[in-house]
Structure formats: C-alpha cells, structure tokens
Amino acid sequence: MDLSKKISKAVKAGKLYNLEHFHNAWENEDLRRLMGNELLFPPSPRVIEAVTQFLPKMNYYPEDPATNKKLLQALADYAGVAGGADWVTLGNGSMEIIDMLPRTFLDPGDEVLLPCPDYSPYARRPLLYGGTIVDVVPDADFIYTLEDFTNKLTKMTKMIILSRPNAPAGNLLPREILISLLKLDVIVVVDEAYTEFSGESVVGLLEQHNNLIISRTFSKAIGLGGIRLGFVLSNPDMISYIERIRVPLNVSLLTQVAALAALEDADYIRNNVKKVIAARDMFSNQLAQISGVKVFPSQGNSVLINTHESGVSAEALQMHLLQAGYLTRNLSGGRGIPGDFFLRITIGTADDMHHVAALLRERISRG
Ligand code: PMP
C-alpha cells in the first residue's frame, strides 16, 4: 500500500523536530550541557526524597491532574493566580501545551500569528490541525512593534502565540504591546517558560482578559526538565475547554509528586534563579567586550550571539567549545535566524561562563 496516499494533508504539512542535541548530551555525560536551556543545578533534596518515597507505588495510576487540587492550588499560589486551582491545568511538559492549545482552537484555514524567530515547535503543531502560520517579522535586533502584529491580522486570525522572554533572543515584548494584543478579537498565548529569570509576568492581566492563556514549565528555573511538567494558567471557562482535549492521566505519578515537593522548596528555586541571573549578566558583559560579537540582551537563561562581524561562524565556535567540553546550540539558519553566525549558549555556573567567554574570545581572535 502507498501509505503516503492515506496520510492526512495536515500531517503531510507537519515537520519533524530535531532533538539530536539531547541525544548527544546523554551519550556524552561528561560534556557540560549548555545547549538546551536546562538548569545546570541538581534538583532540591526534598524532591529527591519525595520521589524516592513514591517509587514503591509505581504500580498504581496517578490521579488525574484535574482532581489533584492540592497540586493545582500550589501552582496557582506559585504563579500568583488569586483564583486558585480552577485557573490551572497541566501538560506533559509545556511542549504538550504547545500541542494542546492549537488543537483546542483551530479549525482548518485558521491563521496563527507567530513572531519569527520564536520557539520553533509553535510553527509545527498548528499545521497538524489545519492551521496556517503567519510570520510576524521584527527588526534586525529582534524587536517587535505592535504594527508588526496588527499588519498581519485578517478575518481568519484565531491565535497569537509568543514567548516572553523570547526564545531564542531573550528579550521581552513590551507589556503595552501585549495589552494592545489582548484587546484584539484573538486568543493570545504567552509562553512564560523563562519568566523567573526576567522577574516579569503577565499573570496580573488574566482577570481582565479572558482571551489570555499563559504557559509555564518546570524545565527551566524550577530545574526539573526530566519530569516533563508544564502548566496552563487561564480563566476557568478557558481551562474547561482545554480540559476537553487533554489526554487523561497525561502527567505521571512521579512527576506530580516531584512537582509538589519542588514548590514546597521555593527558596531553592529562588537561589538558583539568582545564580543564573548573576552568571548571565556577567557572561553578557564579557561577551560584549569581544570585538565582532553582537550580544542580544537576555532576560532568560541563555544568551544569543551573532558573530557575523568577526567572520567566525557559529559552527566553528560550537566545535571549539565542544572540544573544550561544552555543548551549545548553533541556531543559524533556523526560522527567522538567517546566515551562519548565531550561537546560543545556556547559562551554567559562573565558572562555566567565565571559561566559555574566554574560549570564545580566544577562537574569535584567531579569526
Ligand atoms: N517554551 C519555550 C519558550 C522553550 O524554550 C521551551 C524549551 N526549550 C519549552 C517551551 C519547552 O519546555 P518543556 O520542557 O516544558 O516542554
């Protein structure tokens, strides 16, 4: 049988996501993982203890996320959502949320406005549900104006999805622009994966704007990428629609246990965030002093650089860092990232970042 004749048009339009960088990291555990915007500090001892206690109970199903009100309430408290548990639902990582939301809203032909560049899975999942992607293009510094978005609106525009801080640029879409977007007749999804590193969130806008959906994750500041937990914040009406497409029991028992324990150790999260911010700002300053390197000011846990003026490609720099034991991410040629000179480096310890800055300086000075 010619399988391709049976595959839906939408799936044919879909694209695979390349996750080789995680494979490489697990194959070479001695390398420092500065390629995936994870936290480089280990989980809180309280998380390890809680998970260990539940290991003998893995024969049982977890409860469904919708009934685990204790966890939902803890998440609402952590995010500062006054309405509580009814304003939260969970995804198996925020990557699952990026799949759930287009499924909730899109009919074939609907358009989704996406900043270009932004987190690449946004440009893949809507296609699977018949959606059309409309690129919103910033200036050369990856700065967006309100008109960049409104010029692209049509009768078919159903959603806007954006990350704030932006992945991979690290900057924040100004709050006033976001408020203007919320006044439009569209669903606005704000992915706050990196919010803790920016100290800025739009949670306070949820009550006034019932078209706002916020996505959060345990993979960045909370440092639990391995448990795969994301959460959605929105009004109860919106949450009830998203609940209709959420796969039952989509969040594992150990994930739920680890999440609650992590939230009970808020100081641990805060301390890690402080360390990352200090290392990020120090690293950005060091990079800014290297001639030929353009540093994009970051409010996240990674720094994007453009080395076009130095003439040394991102690939050459990535190889140089790899030989010294550091995995980084060459984003050149990705959506909205033209050329060969864009390298993104996740923030590790202060020592890592001093070392990486010195390695980059040395390689670039060789030309
Ligand atoms: N959103 C953004 C903006 C990201 O950068 C990432 C991970 N790199 C994710 C979501 C996915 O996170 P999760 O581990 O929660 O699936």
d(CA 223, CA 241): 29
**pLDDT on residue 71:** 98
Single out the residue of 351, 346, 339 nearest to residue 303, CA to CA: 346
**pLDDT on residue 321:** 98
CB distance 219 to ligand 1 below 6 Å: yes
- What would the mean pLDDT of 193-213 be, rounded to a whole number? 98
The radius of gyration computed from the CA coordinates of the chain, to the nearest angstrom, equals 21
Cβ neighbours around 99 below 10 Å, total:
21
Q: Which one-letter DSSP state was computed for residue 63?
A: P
Q: Is 336 left (phi over 0), alpha (psi -120 to 50) or beta?
A: left
Both tokens of 69, joined, read 């009100």
Q: Answer whether residue 86 shows pLDDT above 80.
A: yes
CB distance 253 to ligand 1 below 6 Å: no
Q: Answer whether residue 14 shows pLDDT above 80.
A: no
- Cα dihedral angle (150, 96, 79, 158), rounded to 10 degrees? 20
192 Cα to the center of ligand 1, angstroms: 9
| Tens-place pLDDT, residues 224-244 | 999 999 999 999 999 999 999
CB distance 167 to ligand 1 below 6 Å: yes
Give, for 191, the enclosing helix (H) or strand (E): strand 187-191
Atom in ligand 1 nearest the alpha carbon of residue 217: 15
**pLDDT on residue 13:** 78
365 Cα to the center of ligand 1, angstroms: 34
Domains of the chain (ranges plus CATH)?
Answer: 3-42+267-366 (3.90.1150.10), 45-265 (3.40.640.10)
CB distance 272 to ligand 1 below 6 Å: no
**pLDDT on residue 6:** 94
- What would the mean pLDDT of 75-104 be, rounded to a whole number? 98
pLDDT averaged over the chain?
97
Cα dist. 358→124, 275, 312, 352 in Å?
Answer: 37, 20, 15, 10
- Termini Cα distance of the chain: 54
Q: Answer whether residue 127 shows pLDDT above 80.
A: yes
Contacts 24+ apart (CB under 8 A), 293-297: 293/360, 293/364, 296/141, 296/142, 296/169, 296/170, 296/171, 297/170, 297/171
Taking the mean position of all CA atoms in its chain, how far away is CA 142?
17
Q: Output 120 or 172, whichever has higher pLDDT.
A: 172
Is 293 within 8 Å of 310 (Cβ atoms)?
yes
**pLDDT on residue 61:** 98
Substitution candidate for ligand 1 out of 35, 195, 219, 298 with most atoms within 8 A of CB: 219
CB distance 165 to ligand 1 below 6 Å: no
d(CA 328, CA 33): 7
152 pLDDT band (50/70/90 cuts)? Answer: very high
pLDDT over 90 for what percent of the chain? Answer: 94
